[in-house]
Amino acid sequence: MNPLNSFVAPRRVTRKIHVGKVAVGGDAAISVQSMTNTDTRNVAATHAQIMALAEAGADMVRVSCPDEEAALAMGPLVAGSPVPLIADIHFDHRLALIALDKGVDGLRLNPGNIGSRARVAEVARAACERRVPIRIGVNAGSLERELLNRYKEPCAEAMVESALQHIRILEDLDYREIKVSLKASNAAMTVAAYRMLATRTDYPLHLGITEAGGLIPGTVKSAVGLGLLLAEGLGDTLRISLSTDPVVEVRVGFEILKALGLRNRGVSIISCPTCSRQEMPVIDITAKLEARLAHILEPVTVSIIGCVVNGPGEAKESHVGIVGGAGENLLYLGGKPVGKVADVDVVERLAQEVEAWVAGMRGLERS
């Protein structure tokens, strides 16, 4: 039995919607998203980043549409994208209409900030005709003035009330292809808001800690906040917001899901922190192997352990393992020792063995 099953609560039952070919909510796998940070009007640069994100495993990608030229660029971007694209819209309902016309698979907007009811209705109607879902994206940093006046400062209650107001606008128009996010840069506020909203609606939840920071603090904050929610069974899709290359956001998203046993994708490396007992350069090998095997989608476990203290035990539980030894590191395949490898050859040998393992898995799947 997976030991994680004992501390991860069953998923909350949510309504299932579809962002293009990707199901969100219900029994669908928890999807991982990211967002481009190129100038959307630069189609070549944005397309290249979408491809990099898709290759890293992003199930869908959000693209900002700050003006008409950017909204028009969604045409070629959608045509060239292997994953569903979501247009991020603020203030101007016409940009949402253009993006829909260009074939986007999802919209992220807040009905309350794109103008009159008639304008919201026009967008909801166009989205409904194309079966394109809308994410209501509440952000603690841009709550409505009326809510801020009433609650005095951003708080979980105000975020939930904002979300419910936006939801009501769409429901009044008989539009229910909705997912909701409640993001704050404060993890505790974010967690409280999602917990509260989960008791009020069955729409799928898009999780995220907004503006979480740079790589290390942002990853830790996101892992703590989203980890708490996911362990409680909350969350249907997620985006990690980091001030770094968005490809890294995708990797962090998957690592959080993998740590909770909620998704299993790509190579999982088990490596020791090293100490004076190490007999091979574990840190260098691990960094090189991570980069070398970033293209692998299948779940494979690789252990890279510096000495015999923990090496054989970990290698026995891994698909591929290496244990440091004085000039003769011991290679394990399928938990069994099979031969010696010199330090200089370790990265390439492990990569080849993982690729061979994956080829075997693919062969088994086909047969």
Of residues 107 and 285, the one with the C-beta less far from ligand SF4: 285
Name which position in 44, 220, 259, 275 contacts ligand SF4 (CB under 6 A): 275
Which of 54-62, 73-81, 84-92, 270-278 is the region at the interface with ligand SF4 (rule: CB under 6 A)? 270-278
Provide the 10 A C-beta neighbour count for residue 134: 27
Name which position in 230, 272, 304, 315 contacts ligand SF4 (CB under 6 A): 272
Considering the complex, what minimum distance in angstroms separates the CB of residue 320 from ligand SF4? Answer: 17
Instruction: Please give the Cα distance from 85 to 106 (Å, whole number).
Output: 7
Name which position in 54, 278, 301, 337 contacts ligand SF4 (CB under 6 A): 278
Rounded to whole angstroms, what are the CA distances from 68 to 118, 139, 168? 20, 24, 28
Question: Does residue number 322 form part of the binding site for ligand SF4 (CB under 6 A)?
Answer: no
Question: Does residue number 274 form part of the binding site for ligand SF4 (CB under 6 A)?
Answer: yes
**Cβ burial 42-64 (10 Å sphere, 16+ → b, else e):** ebeebbebbebbbebbbbbbbbb
Of residues 29 and 309, the one with the C-beta less far from ligand SF4: 309
Site for ligand SF4 in 279-318 (CB under 6 A): 305-307, 309-310
| Local structure of 19: helix, strand or coil | strand
Considering the complex, what minimum distance in angstroms separates the CB of residue 216 from ligand SF4? Answer: 21
Question: Does residue number 277 form part of the binding site for ligand SF4 (CB under 6 A)?
Answer: yes
Q: Are 259 and 37 in contact (CB under 8 A)?
A: no
Considering the complex, what minimum distance in angstroms separates the CB of residue 278 from ligand SF4? Answer: 4
Q: Where does 206-276 show beta strands of DSSP type E? A: 206-207, 237-239, 267-271
Residue whose C-beta lies closest to ligand SF4:
306
Between strands 267-271 and 31-35, the pairing is unpaired
Provide the 10 A C-beta neighbour count for residue 328: 13
Binding site for ligand SF4 (CB under 6 A): 272-275, 277-278, 305-307, 309-310
